[in-house]
Copies of this chain bind each other. A is one copy, B any other.
Amino acid sequence: MILRLAHVEISAPDLDEARAFYVGLLGFVEQAADERACYLRGAEEFDAWSLKISRGDGGGLVHSGFRVSEPGDLDRLEAIHADRGLPVVRVAAGTEPGQGDALRTVTPDGHRVEFFHDFDEVELYPEGRLRMPMRDSHRLTGVPPGRIDHVSMRVPDMAAALGYWAGDLDFSTAEIWLDDDGETPRVAWVRRTPRSHDVALGRNDVPAFHHVAYAVSDAAALLRAADLLGDARIQGRLEWGPSRHGATNAFAMYIRDPAGNRLELYTGDYVRDLDRPALLWRPDDYDQQGHSWWGNAPPPTFGETQPLAGEWIA
């Protein structure tokens, strides 16, 4: 039913500054823009865009969008949310460029989520000949980021969050970092794709945004990104990594954008069928090798989150 995370909308106070960072330095492709937002995509994406940056007071997560496998899924999702007593609003095709009819809601944990089926792809036959989006390297610069991979949300109630994502929405729980009691989830990675996750859920006092991650083609892309930051003399934006995560097995690096939003560049997680049981990290193992398989702990700033930002009509 739900196919995957398809886009996120984040907030930034200065769109030109955001564009210089995401497009000019890192190599995101700008696909559309208006006065209030720009719409970017990674170099390997068939979808027209996956990252919307909206002008706002500061950093933060506005909403996450999920693509469903058929138009009728919107009706089924509306019923599921209505049964739950969650708000649902239908928004018309074109509310966001290239997107069809959509259903908006707020999760039990306060996150803004949107579901849709119809979504434009990039032009695939320029001059009549097939060209896949990533086969444009003579025009690309920067890393470049490949495709949106996952969003990491902080939630006040992990049990409620898992009841919604793994229960109502039928996400598969790929991994769980267990709390000191050896039972309660502290962080959970849930997914609709066979890779490690579409959404990471971590415990926090209030709903908040931790990071959005883009998959890159290989480990060298992360080193290139770190060099880009150093060469541009903004090495302070590199918050953590590159390093191998134990959880998800990904080779990853975290960058803070000019508005404070955290971007992860990510490669090398695994493929495992959705029906397989969750992988369980005992708290002592996680401390030793879960965050970093190489043993290097994240910096204290890694605990910082960004708020939910902007307007939401659900």
| A residues apposed to B, CB below 8 Å | 3-4, 25, 44, 46, 67, 69-70, 121, 124, 129-130, 132, 134-139, 141, 147, 193-194, 217-220, 223-224, 226-233, 235-236, 238, 242-244, 246, 249, 251, 268, 270-276, 279-282, 285, 288-289, 292-296
Residues in B with CB closer than 8 Å to A129 are 282, 285
Residues in B with CB closer than 8 Å to A279 are 124, 130, 132
How far, in angstroms, from A275 to B226 measured CA to CA in the complex?
32
A-B contact pairs, 9 of them (CB 8 A): A3-B273, A132-B270, A135-B293, A136-B231, A137-B231, A138-B231, A227-B244, A229-B294, A235-B295
How far, in angstroms, from A236 to B297 measured CA to CA in the complex?
11
Report A35 CB to chain B, min CB distance, Å: 28
Known: A138-B25, A218-B219, A295-B236. A226 touches B244 (CB 8 A): yes
How far, in angstroms, from A280 to B129 measured CA to CA in the complex?
9
Known: A219-B220, A235-B295, A236-B295. A275 touches B70 (CB 8 A): yes
Residue of B with least CB distance to A26? B138
Choose among B132, B139, B295 the residue that contacts A238 (Cβ–Cβ < 8 A).
B295
Known: A129-B282, A137-B227, A282-B129. A44 touches B270 (CB 8 A): yes
Known: A135-B293, A141-B141. A242 touches B242 (CB 8 A): yes
Residues in B with CB closer than 8 Å to A135 are 227, 230-231, 249, 293
Residue of B with least CB distance to A132? B249
Residues in B with CB closer than 8 Å to A44 are 270-271
Report A140 CB to chain B, min CB distance, Å: 9
How far, in angstroms, from A271 to B45 measured CA to CA in the complex?
8
How far, in angstroms, from A157 to B70 measured CA to CA in the complex?
31
Residue of B with least CB distance to A70? B275
Residues in B with CB closer than 8 Å to A275 are 69-70
Report A249 CB to chain B, min CB distance, Å: 5
Residue of B with least CB distance to A230? B293
Report A234 CB to chain B, min CB distance, Å: 9
Q: Which among A4, A130, A193 has the greatest number of chain B C-beta atoms within 10 A?
A: A130
Residue of B with least CB distance to A251? B223
Known: A218-B218, A276-B121. A296 touches B238 (CB 8 A): yes
